[in-house]
Chains A and B, each alone.
Chain A
């Protein structure tokens, strides 16, 4: 079916659609209808969504259209279809975290980000697929089956926010929210060729985000371009008294940072990030991106992050330790699934957890419980926390010499589904470049910076100082405005069903 407007509305960024809505060239209802048509045609193969919120979506769209018609002012993201990762609570809507243990759980409240987006007129399309409890790098750990990469359906979209990334890429949403504990927004953004941001820890409220690892989790945007990312951050960022780790730091208007100017910015390139095991095409794309920024007036600085090689080991103690504690609450008493065991409470817990959690979640609960258990705590958990300090110090020292750090996002472009599922350590290694950013709490943004020879996207990761997303926006915007990488789209004919 050809699109009804001249241009395919579903592939435009939100800020362009906003202008079109204001000029009366389209309506929120039309955009929403096109998005749901794409879902009908494409999602049987992609499986980005776990749940669609069609009725609510059209109700919101019609309300926005009425406001526009009545001459009212609408916020920048009003009427724009947005997908929510299924670990974000929406009142009255099932929130599963792609786990059997939460099947049937109806959220009794809105996450703060959902509440803010609702007030901004967002059209919620539905809930997207993820690795169970956001633990994974491919969405293959979902209890409801994997999501496929729109660029090549035999490949993973990345994870854990793979459903959100695939939806934005395939025109099944204009914007999406994901969460990032070790790279779960940035790696899928890179694999799908879109923009992703993990904000500074504390920048976005985690209230209503189902907890995985509480000292690492952050909610963030997945968008078509940098401008949309700034607009979405303007809605979701800022202090929230309902999250005790929410930072009481002023949240600027991020669109003010969207200017094409990197003159004098010092870009740190860590030598440790370009060692063995990285796909040569990824290395080439990142180096080219750095040259583009240098040509635009930025200054390249070679830096060293000597403890980079220990981040993965630290992460795989800290994150499972926090997860094992957070996931203790799924005991079959308060919500979700309960194994029908009537006689013994302890047995009921064990049978519920064993039947309700998938293998990766169990692996991490075991690993975390071990690292926190008596006799092993000092050797593993405490040791990991100390090395976490060394990693933090590395970045602090680096930022004395540069204003931002650029690195690859993942060692390779999207890998094949099934390629790493039986080898947990190999799967973990796909997050080797993104983890330190969570361990240090710093903000990290990913922008498309090229396609591989077999047409798979490659993403540039830009890391900034704490609460300095503005420099990330400025750099990413300058890069985007001087390149065409963000305009590339997959061949949709391959993912459409009649």
Chain B
């Protein structure tokens, strides 16, 4: 199967990436080359094989739900914000 420009543009939109025309051309051929290689998986009949997502995963560990007495990390966290005001991240207007 060959991935068309339309699909690539849709994936770029889902990925929140934008490309210049020349970059997009490059991606179309490289992704097709990689996906063509990946096609070899279809040589295998896996109809009865269960999927593996994690090797040794058993269950999600739970911790005790209790309030911890420690200094709030809010300032340390917000120090990295490209733009902040008080205890908020500032972003471009979302609602008109």
Chain A residues with CB under 8 Å of chain B are 104-106, 108-109, 201-202, 215, 241, 244-245, 247-248, 307, 309-310, 312-314, 316-317, 324, 328, 331-338, 341-351, 353-354, 357, 359, 362-363, 365-367, 369-370, 373, 380, 382-390, 392, 424-425, 428, 440-441, 466
B27 to chain A, nearest CB (A): 6
When the two chains form their complex, are residues B27 and A386 in contact, meaning their CB atoms are under 8 A apart? no
Tell me whether B87 is interfacial, beta carbon within 8 Å.
no
Residues of A within 8 A of B76 (CB): 108-109
Tell me whether B67 is interfacial, beta carbon within 8 Å.
no
When the two chains form their complex, are residues B15 and A333 in contact, meaning their CB atoms are under 8 A apart? no
When the two chains form their complex, are residues A365 and B15 in contact, meaning their CB atoms are under 8 A apart? yes
Q: Binary interface profile of B, 4-21, with partner A (CB < 8 Å = 1, else 0)? A: 000110111011111100
Identify whether the interface residues of B are mostly helix, strand, loop, or mixed: loop
A498 to chain B, nearest CB (A): 40
5 A-B pairs within 8 Å (CB atoms) are namely A343-B93, A353-B17, A359-B23, A366-B15, A392-B55
When the two chains form their complex, are residues A384 and B27 in contact, meaning their CB atoms are under 8 A apart? no
When the two chains form their complex, are residues B30 and A334 in contact, meaning their CB atoms are under 8 A apart? no
Residues of B within 8 A of A215 (CB): 53-55
When the two chains form their complex, are residues B51 and A333 in contact, meaning their CB atoms are under 8 A apart? no
Give the complex CA separation of A387 and B53 in angstroms.
Answer: 11
When the two chains form their complex, are residues B56 and A338 in contact, meaning their CB atoms are under 8 A apart? no
- Given known pairs A108-B77, A245-B54, A425-B34, the reply for A341 and B46 (CB within 8 Å) is no
Chain B residues with CB under 8 Å of chain A are 3, 7-8, 10-12, 14-19, 23, 27, 30-31, 33-35, 37-38, 40-42, 44, 46, 49-57, 60-61, 63, 73, 76-77, 79-83, 89, 91-94
Residues of B within 8 A of A307 (CB): 44
Give the complex CA separation of A313 and B34 in angstroms.
Answer: 9
When the two chains form their complex, are residues A389 and B38 in contact, meaning their CB atoms are under 8 A apart? no
A357 to chain B, nearest CB (A): 8
**Residue of B at shortest CB range from A340?**
B82
When the two chains form their complex, are residues A387 and B17 in contact, meaning their CB atoms are under 8 A apart? no
Nearest 4 CB-CB pairings of A with B: A441-B55, A385-B51, A338-B82, A335-B80
Residues of B within 8 A of A351 (CB): 18
Given A350-B18, A386-B52, A425-B34, 11 additional A-B pairs, CB 8 A = A108-B79, A310-B40, A310-B41, A310-B44, A333-B91, A354-B17, A387-B41, A387-B44, A392-B55, A425-B37, A466-B55
Residues of B within 8 A of A357 (CB): 17
Per a CB cutoff under 8 Å, which of A109, A317, A336, A350 touches B16?
A350
Residues of B within 8 A of A244 (CB): 60-61
When the two chains form their complex, are residues A383 and B42 in contact, meaning their CB atoms are under 8 A apart? yes
- Given known pairs A341-B92, A366-B27, the reply for A106 and B51 (CB within 8 Å) is no
Give the complex CA separation of A345 and B30 in angstroms.
Answer: 30
When the two chains form their complex, are residues A369 and B14 in contact, meaning their CB atoms are under 8 A apart? yes
- Given known pairs A201-B55, A392-B55, the reply for A365 and B17 (CB within 8 Å) is yes
A262 to chain B, nearest CB (A): 27
When the two chains form their complex, are residues A201 and B56 in contact, meaning their CB atoms are under 8 A apart? yes
**Residue of B at shortest CB range from A338?**
B82
In this complex, the member of B18, B35, B38 whose beta carbon has the largest number of chain A beta carbons within 10 angstroms is: B38
Give the complex CA separation of A354 and B61 in angstroms.
Answer: 37
When the two chains form their complex, are residues A106 and B80 in contact, meaning their CB atoms are under 8 A apart? yes
- Given known pairs A241-B63, A366-B17, A389-B52, the reply for A333 and B82 (CB within 8 Å) is yes
Give the complex CA separation of A235 and B41 in angstroms.
Answer: 40
- Given known pairs A244-B60, A441-B55, the reply for A367 and B31 (CB within 8 Å) is yes
Residues of B within 8 A of A309 (CB): 40
B71 to chain A, nearest CB (A): 12
Residues of A within 8 A of B89 (CB): 333-334
When the two chains form their complex, are residues B38 and A366 in contact, meaning their CB atoms are under 8 A apart? no
Per a CB cutoff under 8 Å, which of A332, A349, A370, A388 touches B11?
A370
When the two chains form their complex, are residues B92 and A348 in contact, meaning their CB atoms are under 8 A apart? yes
- Given known pairs A317-B38, A370-B7, the reply for A324 and B55 (CB within 8 Å) is no
Per a CB cutoff under 8 Å, which of A106, A344, A384, A424 touches B30?
A424
In this complex, the member of B3, B12, B35, B41 whose beta carbon has the largest number of chain A beta carbons within 10 angstroms is: B41
When the two chains form their complex, are residues A348 and B91 in contact, meaning their CB atoms are under 8 A apart? yes
- Given known pairs A343-B92, A382-B51, A383-B41, the reply for A369 and B33 (CB within 8 Å) is no
